[in-house]
Amino acid sequence: MAIQIDGRTIDDVFCECAAHYADHTFLTVPRDQKRTYAPDGRTITFRQAAQIVDTYARALRDAGYGHGHRIAVMAENRPEMLLLKLALGRLGISWVPVNPDYRAAEIAYLLTDSDADLAIAIAERGEQMQAGITESGRRLALSLLDHGDGDGFAAAPCPAPSEDPVHPQSEASLLYTSGTTGRPKGCILGHEYELMMGAWYANRGGRLSFDEGAERIYCPLPLFHVNAGIFLFFAAMLSGNCQILPERFRRTAWWPEIRETRATAIHYLGVIVPVLMNEPADDGDRRHGVKWGLGAGVEPTVHAAFEDRFGFPLIEVWGMTEMCRILADCHEPRQIDSRAMGRPVPGLDVRVVDGDDRDVIFGEPGEMIIRHSAETPRKGAFSGYLNQPDATEEAWRGGWFHTGDTVRQDETGMLYFVDRKKNIIRRSGENIAAAEVEACLQSHPSVAQVAVIAIEDEMREEEVLACVVLSEGSGDQQLARQLFDYCFQRLAYYKAPGWVVFVDRLPVTGTQKVLKHMIFEENQDPRTLPHAHDLRALKKR
């Protein structure tokens, strides 16, 4: 069944899907006897999902919440995270997902910047969320979420900001993404935008073909990210399919859970592939029903070997929170020996430009800029950055959205990924803003100057390396550990420096801007220097 999404709200579409696919499985939690919730697993049909959403929506409405409110939610990778999102959408409330790895200061920033009207957390995360509320200094109520019960919420602090009906451009979510210049930016996503994201994914075709009501998609990525929480979620909903919700990627659970849940497709991160390839080959490598995997970051040197061993294609894609349409190398012949990520298609115009927004010649690297079309450049794009209209317009200068990603394009239109956004470190699928880590370290009394850069890591793709100039004295392992602990207590665990290198000075321009590319000599591995300290083993949740 083709579900119409144009001009509709999330709830309009969900109710239609729930009625049509009533007895199809919508969400599945794998079994895990060590887990504190649903140790025997959990299966939720579309009909059951609709009943839970009804319960949540009534409780929220009774508590006085409505169109224009924002609610911050910390519910890990549990079905409640998604079902509550649907209930919020029904009432025109914006879903503000909170990373469960955030420390109190990070939660406080999100609650303050979003001007959230309520915080909701599962019981196990209540103390953590309350610490963030306290740190923020705001008088914000916290409601603990029972597993699917929806037994009331704290009363709304003010009437709903809007008396208008919920409409396709109403704010559905506020997702925080790592910015290159400091604190995360809140991306405003509308109802129609999120539905378009799911529809685009479900209709890519080629090796990414969705069979209606037949797919079971295993995704270990976190629900506070756009990939699992919106992109996949709405693709599954619109096609009557099932999203499988493991807590996170675990090497020992990957294949057993895929077999147990009868997964037909998977989502992956580049770091997952070498982990699986390092396992001893056995007769079970092809004992599964997976037809395709979707992700990004696979090294071309292992791409073909993985497909040969496990028997299904890994479809490399490019996407971002701000634009609903992915690029995907999903049509044969795929170019798996390269970093190919697909060609422009109707509804996604692409240019590759230099620093002055002039087109570069084929084969030359440049920044990828995108739009829907000349007539409607911002169709199917985010609504803007919260509280940052200037940043929004700067990103859209000239009528094209500037991704900040460096690519090259060949004569056939194929685009190849070259490099990441400036000052962003990509560690195990998490985007880490160097500026945020620098700001934290700079506040330590022993630090005179600091520059944070990405360093290649054999397991995590990239790791955080902090180059530190001390206020006085010289650095040692003990001081490196102190700096690590200082960050670890204030930032999500994965943001703390995996390496600390003490240096005498940092090269700067005439305006005192650090020249990060000149900190170390060309082809020098800073990890081998005498004042380099390896702290990676300390980076645990």
Please tell me the distance from the alpha carbon of residue 345 to that of residue 373, in angstroms, as a whole number: 10
The C-alpha atoms of residue 416 and residue 518 are separated, in whole angstroms, by 27
Confidence of residue 508 (pLDDT cuts 50, 70, 90): confident
Distance between first and last Cα of the chain: 43
Range name among 16-20, 275-279, 332-336 with the lowest pLDDT average: 275-279
Retrieve residue 245's tokens. 């919700």
DSSP state of 264: S
Token pair in block for residue 78: 């549990």
Counting Cβ atoms within 10 Å, is residue 192 exposed (0-12), middle (13-18) or buried (19+)?
Answer: buried
What percent of the chain is modeled with pLDDT above 90? 79
Question: How many CA atoms lie within 13 Å of 121's alpha carbon, on the beta-carbon side?
Answer: 20
Which amino acid makes up residue 278?
A: N
Q: Among 104-113, 133-142, 219-228, 293-302, where is mean pLDDT lowest?
A: 293-302
Q: Are strands 323-328 and 314-320 parallel, antiparallel or unpaired?
A: antiparallel
Question: Tell me, what's the pLDDT at 324?
Answer: 84
pLDDT tier, 513 (very low <50, low <70, confident <90, very high otherwise): low
At residue 422, the pLDDT reads 65
Say what the pLDDT of residue 473 is. 84
42-45 and 94-97 beta bridge pairing:
unpaired
With bands split at pLDDT 50, 70 and 90, how would you rate the model's confidence at 418?
Answer: confident
Would you place residue 1 in the very low, low, confident or very high pLDDT band (cuts 50, 70, 90)? Answer: low
CA 410 to chain centre: 29
Q: What are phi and psi of 14, to 5 degrees?
A: -60, -45
CATH class, range 10-157+166-342: alpha beta
Sequence ranges of the domains in the chain:
10-157+166-342, 345-422, 430-538
Which residue matches tokens 């493991």?
Answer: 246
| 8 A C-beta contact, residue 125 and residue 202 | no
Query: Is pLDDT of 52 > 80?
Result: yes
Burial of 460 (0-12, 13-18, 19+ CB in 10 A): buried
* 188-192 average pLDDT score: 98
How sure is the predictor about 297, in pLDDT bands with cuts at 50, 70 and 90? confident
Give the residue among 318, 350, 387 at the shortest CA–CA distance from 174: 387
pLDDT digits (tens, 9 = 90+) for 111-123: 999 999 999 999 9
Strands 118-122 and 142-145: parallel
Q: What is the pLDDT of residue 341?
A: 94
Over residues 161-177, the pLDDT tens digits come to 999 999 999 999 999 98
Same fold for the pair 10-157+166-342 and 345-422: no
Of residues 96, 95, 77, the one with CA closest to residue 37: 77
Question: Is the pLDDT assigned to residue 10 strictly greater than 80?
Answer: yes
Residue 71's nearest CA partner among 162, 157, 191 is: 157
φ and ψ of 186, to 5 deg: -85, 115
Query: How much is the pLDDT for 181?
Result: 55
Residue 148 has pLDDT above 80, yes or no: no
Q: What is the model's pLDDT at position 149?
A: 44
For range 38-64, the mean pLDDT: 97
The string of pLDDT tens digits covering residues 353-401 is 998 999 999 998 899 999 999 999 999 999 999 999 999 999 999 999 9
The CATH number given to 430-538 is 3.30.300.30
Q: How many angstroms separate the most distant Cα atoms in the chain?
A: 70
Range of weakest confidence among 328-337, 370-379, 418-427:
418-427
Q: Give the total residue count for the chain.
A: 541
Average pLDDT of span 332-345:
94
pLDDT top residue among 281 and 424: 281
Across 434-449, average pLDDT: 88
pLDDT band for 281, please (50, 70, 90 cuts): very high
Residue 472 confidence (pLDDT): 87
- Amino acid, res. 150: G
- The mean pLDDT of 289-307, rounded to a whole number, is 93
CA-to-CA distance for 98 and 225, rounded, in angstroms? 9
**Mean pLDDT computed over 409-420:** 90
Which CATH code of 2.30.38.10, 3.30.1490.20, 2.30.42.10, 3.40.640.10 fits the domain covering 345-422?
A: 2.30.38.10
Return the higher-pLDDT residue of 297 and 194: 194
Please provide the average confidence, as pLDDT, over all residues in the chain: 93
Q: Residue 182 pLDDT more than 70?
A: no
Phi, psi of 50, rounded to the nearest 5 degrees: -60, -40
